[in-house]
């Protein structure tokens, strides 16, 4: 008890009570403020990822099943828009009756159609009905902003404030809960999604190279998407579905890639690659959150799906095929499809997350779930290291994962898989220190860095692939 409080008791006997009441009122006010902030916080719809569970879909049923899976993504995106538009009405009962119940009903009908399509040619999978229900959680983490005071309160650097020794941002970033075009809420990035790369310890470890290793490399030079080839499709995951990704993709290589590209289309298309490689490379665009928008601000994949800000063109794109540290590699089959990383890792969990973030000059420090704050003179780096083991039979699989695998820690492939050239996509961006940026994502993934992912379809000619394998196995550096 303070001296002033004792004196107040001696004089009137009620002063201490007033002090306690004041403290109690202050606590209640703070509690109410926290509850109000929580009620107004952006919400995330969390649904089981059906695509991951369907590891064995008969080939005859895959087109119809892929279409139904894409419709499930659209259902979630629509529900997310409904959730964002709810505003002050979005209490627990409103969310349940207006968002979750209708969404679960839609998903249940879609799952019934998926089961029927599979049952038409094979045995229907069991337990799909358990994947219909979704939940909602509130994101109570503060948004990234241009204010350094928020960071000071948490002890973390704010991406909107200059890092030590760096230039200040040129413009404030928009708040994370501000409405975007098309009715979607602009959610993310958050202050906690960024970290100063200089505070990250070196964490890269490479397997020991053995005598039978394939030490060479083969590079394709395919530009930086100077021709502005963008679309929100995903021909691997959602073939034949416009806006199947619900976020914008950057493309290099094959000039004809969109949701409706057949293998024949890809094989006869032009390419941006200088060696004639028609392979398709794509990844979500990176946007600068500086309050300025692109022409897609009112379009699907852009503002309609909560992706806003100026699209950043890469400063460099390096496409390198590397060998195995323990064996020779064999040729990839034509039209092999590989996805690395998980576009839904924020809600799925990080089991399939694989993108890395870093800064030039600091690439022995790789981040999986944070965006890097780079010092002056250092560029932001995104790196996708693809699966380097193939099952020897399939160019794709129902969940687009099980036909390929990552090498073990020692560099060897799992049983039943053979080593193929490992694709590494390395993309850099010149971003002013302190600027807020974010990767495009599905609406419910909140632009988290852990959702970053890369996609690849091999459309090299047989002779070009033989040349690549020869270079890699013989220890040469080609391209």
What burial class does residue 98 get, using C-beta atoms within 10 Å of its C-beta: 0-12 exposed, 13-18 middle, 19+ buried?
middle
Pairwise CA distance, residues 113 & 127, whole Å:
14
According to DSSP, residue 143 is labeled B
Report the pLDDT value the prediction gives residue 395, as an integer from 0 to 100: 98
* Contact (CB, 8 A) for 280 and 255: no
Beta strands 453-457 and 337-341: pairing type? Answer: antiparallel
DSSP string, 148-206: HHHHHHHTS--TTSPPTTSPPPSSPPPPTTSBPGGG-B----BGGGEEEGGGSPP----
Helix, strand, coil abundance in the chain, percent, nearest 5: 30, 20, 50
Q: What is Dmax (Cα atoms) for the chain?
A: 98
Beta strands 217-220 and 477-478: pairing type? Answer: parallel
* Contact (CB, 8 A) for 356 and 382: yes
Beta strands 286-288 and 437-439: pairing type? Answer: antiparallel
E-strand ranges in 213-349 read 217-220, 230-231, 249-253, 280-284, 286-288, 310-311, 316-322, 337-341
Residue 418 in tokens: 């053979």
Pairwise CA distance, residues 255 & 168, whole Å:
38
Residue 390: its H or E element:
strand 389-390
* SS3 call for 299: coil
Distance (Å) of CA 419 to CA 175, 399, 468, 472: 46, 21, 14, 12
Per-residue pLDDT of the chain (479 residues; tens, 9 = 90+): 333 332 333 333 333 323 445 555 555 554 444 444 444 456 789 999 999 888 789 999 999 999 999 999 999 999 988 888 887 677 889 999 999 999 999 999 999 999 999 999 988 788 899 999 999 887 655 566 533 333 332 333 333 333 333 333 333 233 333 334 334 445 778 889 999 999 999 999 888 888 889 999 999 999 999 999 999 999 999 999 999 999 999 999 999 999 999 999 999 999 999 999 999 999 999 999 988 989 999 999 999 999 999 999 999 999 999 999 999 999 999 999 999 999 999 999 999 999 999 999 999 999 999 999 999 999 999 999 999 999 999 999 999 999 999 999 999 999 999 999 999 999 999 999 989 999 999 999 999 999 999 999 999 999 999 999 999 999 999 98
Residue 311 in tokens: 């699209």
Pairwise CA distance, residues 334 & 460, whole Å:
7
Report the pLDDT value the prediction gives residue 141, as an integer from 0 to 100: 56
């Amino acid at each position: 008890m303070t001296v002033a409080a004792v004196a107040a008791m001696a004089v009137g006997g009620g002063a201490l009570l007033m002090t306690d009441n004041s403290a109690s009122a202050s606590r209640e006010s703070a509690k109410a403020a926290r509850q109000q902030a929580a009620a107004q916080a952006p919400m995330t719809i969390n649904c089981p990822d059906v695509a991951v569970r369907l590891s064995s879909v008969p080939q005859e049923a895959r087109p119809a099943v892929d279409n139904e899976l894409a419709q499930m993504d659209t259902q979630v995106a629509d529900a997310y828009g409904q959730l964002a538009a709810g505003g002050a009405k979005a209490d627990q009962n409103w969310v349940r009756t207006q968002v979750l119940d209708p969404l679960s009903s839609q998903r249940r009908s879609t799952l019934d159609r998926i089961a029927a399509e599979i049952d038409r040619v094979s045995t229907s999978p069991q337990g799909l009905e358990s994947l219909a229900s979704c939940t909602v959680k509130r994101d109570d983490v503060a948004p990234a902003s241009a204010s350094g005071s928020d960071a000071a309160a948490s002890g973390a650097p704010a991406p909107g404030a200059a890092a030590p020794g760096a230039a200040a941002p040129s413009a404030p970033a928009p708040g994370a809960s501000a409405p975007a075009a098309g009715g979607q809420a602009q959610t993310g990035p958050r202050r906690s999604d960024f970290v100063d790369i200089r505070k990250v310890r070196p964490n890269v470890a490479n397997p020991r190279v053995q005598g039978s290793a394939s030490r060479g490399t083969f590079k394709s030079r395919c530009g930086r998407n100077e021709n502005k080839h963008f679309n929100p499709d995903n021909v691997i995951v959602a073939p034949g579905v416009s806006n199947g990704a619900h976020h914008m993709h950057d493309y290099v290589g094959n000039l004809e890639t969109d949701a409706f590209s057949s293998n024949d289309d890809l094989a006869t298309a032009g390419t941006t690659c200088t060696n004639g490689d028609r392979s398709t490379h794509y990844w979500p665009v990176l946007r600068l959150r500086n309050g300025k928008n692109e022409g897609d601000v009112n379009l699907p994949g852009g503002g309609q799906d909560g992706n806003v800000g100026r699209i950043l063109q890469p400063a460099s794109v390096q496409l390198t095929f590397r060998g195995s540290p323990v064996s020779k590699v064999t040729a990839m089959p034509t039209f092999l499809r590989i996805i690395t990383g998980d576009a839904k890792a924020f809600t799925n969990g990080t089991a399939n997350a694989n993108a890395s973030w870093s800064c030039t000059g600091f690439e022995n420090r790789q981040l999986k779930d944070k965006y890097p704050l780079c010092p002056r003179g250092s560029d932001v780096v995104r790196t996708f290291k693809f699966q380097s083991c193939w099952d020897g039979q399939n160019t794709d699989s129902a969940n687009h994962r099980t036909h390929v695998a990552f090498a073990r820690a020692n560099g060897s492939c799992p049983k039943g898989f053979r080593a193929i050239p490992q694709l590494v996509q390395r993309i850099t961006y010149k971003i002013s220190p302190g600027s807020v940026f974010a990767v495009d994502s599905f609406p419910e993934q909140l632009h988290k860095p852990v959702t970053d992912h890369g996609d690849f379809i091999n459309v090299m000619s047989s002779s070009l692939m033989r040349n690549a394998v020869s270079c890699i196995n013989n220890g040469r550096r080609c391209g």
